[in-house]
Amino acid sequence: MLEAIYTIISLQLLILAIVPYLVLRRWAVNLLERCAERRKHHFEPYVLNLLNDPTAIEPLEHRLFPGDRKFIKELLLQLAAQLKGQDRCNMTTAFEKIGYVKNEMSALLSRRWWRRLEAAINLGTMQSQMAVAALIDAVRDPVEDVRLAAVMALGQLNEPRGLRLLIRIIEEGDRWTGSHIVEALISMGPEITSKIIPRLEATTNINARLLYVQICGLLQITEALDSLFLLLRDPDKETRISVAKTLGQIGDVSAVENLIISLDDESWEARAQAAKAIGSLGDKQAVDKLKRALSDENWWVRHNAADALYRLGEEGIEALHETSCSEEKAPRATAAQVLAERALGV
Amino acid sequence: MQSDSILISIILGFNIAILIYFVAINGNYFVLLVISYFSMLRYRRHIEHEQWQRIIQSPLTIPVSIIVPAYNEELTIEESVKSLLMLEYPEFEVIVVNDGSADNTLGKLETSFNLHPIPADIEEKVPCQQILGLYRSPDNPSLVAADKINGGKADALNAGINVSRYPVICAIDADSLIEGGALLRVTKPFLERPGKTVAVGGIVRVANGCTIEAGSVLHVGLSRAWLPLIQAVEYLRAFLFGRSGWSALNSLLIISGAFGIFRKDVVIAVGGYRRGSLAEDVELVVRMHRYLREQRREYEMRFLSDPVCWTEVPESLSILGRQRNRWQRGLIDSLRIHRRMMLNPRYGIIGMVAFPYFVFFEMLAPVVELLGYIIVPISYALGMVDFSFFALFLTVAILIGVILSTGAVVLEELFYRRYPKTSDIVRLVAAAFLENFGYRQLTVWWRVKAFWDYFTGKTAWGKMERKGFIKTLGGRSDSNRCI
Amino acid sequence: MARILVADDDPLSIKLLNFRLRSVGHEVIFAVNGGEALEIATREKPDLVLLDIMMPVMNGFQVLRKLKSQEETKNIPVLILTSKVQEKDVVFGLEAGAEDYLTKPFSFAELNARVNRVLASCS
């Protein structure tokens, strides 16, 4: 028994020994952080000047201690994240000249996964085209976080090879990884349109198609309208819901006729999204149909229809007023609430 | 003579059983500590590099309905709601449910936020008392206030669910202060694993000692008084290894009502919060586990240690005692209601490991501990056990507790470092000592008394007192929720 | 040329804006939270306010509303800086009285253009 007590007590002392170490470490870290702050302040003017003239980095190189490199890098990356346009391009040039890009590209091969993760993220921030090939390799990394970071970085680089790869991943991968790719793709902007539309029609993978539909909405790709109209009648419920939402986001009034038909869809989500989309598109021919949708059994459909009516202007608002005096409880309550909310401006 | 020796054997047996129990419970804590350490190590790397700027701009974030049940909160409701409206999140609504307050809670809200009544079209998806009115504010479009007949906290939460529009709800307490970036962090699992995640809990930290202005925590600090300081360590222990550890095993049985996120469709499917429950947050989570397992659905409930909710803790012993009494009664109640899950293989790891653990090592712990503190010293005094046994008992009962509490402080220092000053850590370690030499024993007493109160039918909540958000000193408060 | 108040809780953002605005000749004063922003704007009456939305103590919208409702400050033009790209926030800000908005990350060309335009139209 006594041995047990001794073991426990020694364990206790061992753990307690960690505490002074941590206290000292904390004191030291606090001190170092204060020094680091001062050093950072010292470098800030030089770093900011780089925004005006990227070649100014050369004189800077010579005065650097190893610890300073880290500050400069951090500072530069933080600044880069806050900029876009010509200034960002200037920073990219600066990064390439100092050698950070090469540095991070070799870090992509590090054995520690968090270092690879950091490298992928930094390469995305630096937006240097030199790193494309390395990032494409990193998309095959065994660790999920690194793969995602590489994908997002390729999105920021806006490069055709990267685009092809991302599309291939959508076709292969599962839905969840796909949503990050959607973000990466939309950050590339409208240039990807010509690649997306053929995939939208050709793909047999339902999940992939859902992602393409989503992208069409987020990038407002009007060229995809015809394909989308066809998909609005697709047997898959999720597809119909997603297409209805997308048609609202694209903002082309020609979609209204098709959406009106969707107000009779068997899925309430599809009906609700259709009502919402019609509201965004603003075509008065929908007023009667929307008024009928106010009697839908589902709360969301009624609510979105009421909202849409309000947005359609005079005729819509009049329809709402009529319904708010109707005998049926549900449409009356919905119309009344939406009228009151809009009147307040919420 | 015979009866004497039988008596002695029984008492000896008790002593040994108690010792074994203490070893078991502390052994379990150690295991949780180790699991938590490794899981935090992995998690830290993930969040170090997370680009929150990108996520907040993402069109894919899920909109959240925050529900704040309010009863007699006129002193603090304005600050709470203001701080919620300032959360950094793309799309969310704040639903304040005035649960038939006797004071001027609703009036305060109306004036502070320029509320106007609107006709309410509310579908009752979960049962609740009648909602008398709905209010919106033209200055704050994300704010919705609902006025209803008093029905208790669970009922108010249900009303909030009925009023809410978004697919994910966040239940919080009226006196919680949610940090600006916490909502973004706590909803991340819903983005990462949308099909599986059904509930996420964040960490609750002790606000006493922090500088708070207009509902924002400007500086983190520790209270000068001992009681809140000890509670700070207690909360660290409960969350950093209790919740963390169980979450890593996907057996999280408790998500704090002070800051919990749930998928609305699942909450509606199980019928919402249970009216009249003493610990509606615990009861809901247990019921969700039960439902999802019976449905054989794959799901995940997680605890994340980086989204923070700050809360005031009691600074006086009497209020603290009432609070712990209520928590214990709530725990007993929730476990009793769902007792069929106990050791039932149908409920997987929850039924076979988590539930029994909570019954034996959380619910019954105070009883065994109290017996231990009585029986063992008496046995030693009467010479039935020798000194080494007694010393071993003391070591296991008290000293190991010190190790565990210090362990919690170590975890905090290694991974989070929310307390900026070096002196803060020293004080936390000191509090870790004190926690086990007196404070813990006091909570044991309160919790045992709760058993008595529960079984003699006391179901009231007890009186609440609120004195407004504390600045750097003082302030008295109570919190009506389970930790 | 003009006196500009920059209100943002992110110190780097302030430094960046400070640097750029100074380099084209403006004078810059700054505030790190909503409360300070309101106080300084009322006291110093700058020619333009660059207001971030997400700030502690009082967020950008609240400061904007207060500025527009106070007699001394209601004519000071406000440009809101927002990292939220939600259309409704922008609309909300403009309806609350802001003259223009700028989304973060921004380019300096854009910043200069908008600042100059707002200053010109309000002088």
pLDDT tens across A254-281, in order? 888 889 888 888 888 899 999 999 988 8
The total number of structural domains that make up chain C:
1
Asked if the C-beta of A6 comes within 8 angstroms of chain B's C-beta atoms, the answer is: no
C35 contacts in chain B (CB < 8 Å): 213-214
Domain count within chain B: 1
Q: What is the pLDDT of residues A27-52, one digit of tens each?
A: 898 888 888 888 878 877 777 777 77
Distance in angstroms (rounded) separating the CA atoms of residues B395 and A14: 15
Burial class (CB in 10 A: 0-12, 13-18, 19+), A175: middle
Give strand ranges (E) for B102-215.
116-118, 131-136, 143-148, 168-172, 177-178, 197-206, 211-213
Query: Does the pLDDT value for residue B62 go beyond 60?
Result: yes
Tell if the CB–CB gap between C19 and A48 is shorter than 8 Å: yes
Confidence of residue A61 (pLDDT cuts 50, 70, 90): low
Residue C84 C-alpha, separation from nearest chain B C-alpha, in angstroms: 6
Are residues B209 and B472 in contact, defined by beta-carbon separation less than 8 angstroms? Answer: yes
Helices (H), chain C: 11-23, 34-44, 60-69, 87-95, 108-122
Say if B252 falls within a structural domain. Answer: yes
Q: How far apart are CA A248 and CA B375, in angstroms?
A: 73
- Residue C54: its chain B contacts at CB < 8 A? 86, 88, 180
Q: Is the Cβ pair B86, C86 closer than 8 Å?
A: no
Over its C-alpha atoms, chain A yields an Rg (Å, rounded) of 29
Chain A residue with the nearest C-alpha to that of C18? A48
Does position A4 have pLDDT exceeding 90, yes or no? no
Question: Could you tell me the end-to-end alpha-carbon distance of chain C, in angstroms, rounded to an integer?
Answer: 12
Residue A174's closest chain B neighbor by CA? Answer: B193
Q: What backbone torsions phi and psi does residue B417 show, to the nearest 5 degrees?
A: 50, 50
Convert the pLDDT of each residue in C38-72 to its tens digit.
889 889 889 999 988 877 777 788 888 888 888 88
Tokens representing A26 are 């904390």
DSSP class of residue B438 equals I
**Alpha carbon of residue B67 to chain centroid:** 16
Strands (E), A244-316: none
Residue of C nearest to B113 (CA): C62
Q: Which residues pair with B355 in a beta bridge?
A: none
Q: Please judge whether A344 and B121 are an interchain contact, meaning their C-beta atoms are less than 8 angstroms apart.
A: no
- Residue bearing tokens 């200053």: C119
* Owning domain of residue B192: 27-62+167-360
Identity of the highest mean pLDDT range in A14-23, B187-196, B234-243, C13-22 = B234-243
Residue B397, in any domain of the structure:
no
The Cα C44–Cα C60 span in angstroms is: 18
With respect to residue B318, please indicate whether it lies within any of the assigned structural domains: yes
In sequence order, what are the residues at sequence separation of 6 or more whose Cβ sits closer than 8 angstroms to the Cβ of residue A124?
A149, A152, A153, A154, A155, A156, A157
CATH label of the domain that carries residue C64: 3.40.50.2300
B50 has a pLDDT exceeding 50: yes
Token pair belonging to B384: 């039935």
Q: What is the pLDDT of residue B286?
A: 94
Query: What is the CATH number for B335?
Result: 3.90.550
pLDDT tens string B259-304? 999 999 999 999 999 988 889 999 999 999 999 999 999 999 999 9
Question: How high is the mean pLDDT of chain A?
Answer: 84
Residue C43: count other Cβ atoms within 10 Å of its Cβ.
Answer: 11
Distance CA A209, CA A223 (A): 16
CA distance A97 to A58: 8
DSSP B355-423: HHHIIIIIISHHHHHHHHHHHHHHHHHTTSS-HHHHHHHHIIIIIHHHHHHHHHHHHHHHHT----SHH
pLDDT top residue among C15 and B458: C15
CA distance, residue B86 to nearest chain C CA (Å): 6
C-alpha span between B327 and B282 (Å, rounded) = 10
Cβ atoms B259, B361 nearer than 8 A: no
Regarding an ipTM greater than 0.95, the answer is no
* Pairing status of strand B259-263 against strand B197-206: antiparallel
Hey, what are C66's tokens?
């207060």
Whether residue A220 lies within 8 A of chain B, CB to CB, comes out as no
Show the beta-strand stretches assigned E in B100-189. Answer: 116-118, 131-136, 143-148, 168-172, 177-178
B171-194 pLDDT, tens digit per residue, is 999 888 999 889 989 998 888 787
pLDDT at position B478 is: 33
Quick check: bond before A331 cis, omega within 30? no
Domain, as residue range, for C12: 3-122
3 state DSSP class of C100: strand
B-chain residue closest to C62, CA distance: B139
Residue B178 lies in a domain: yes
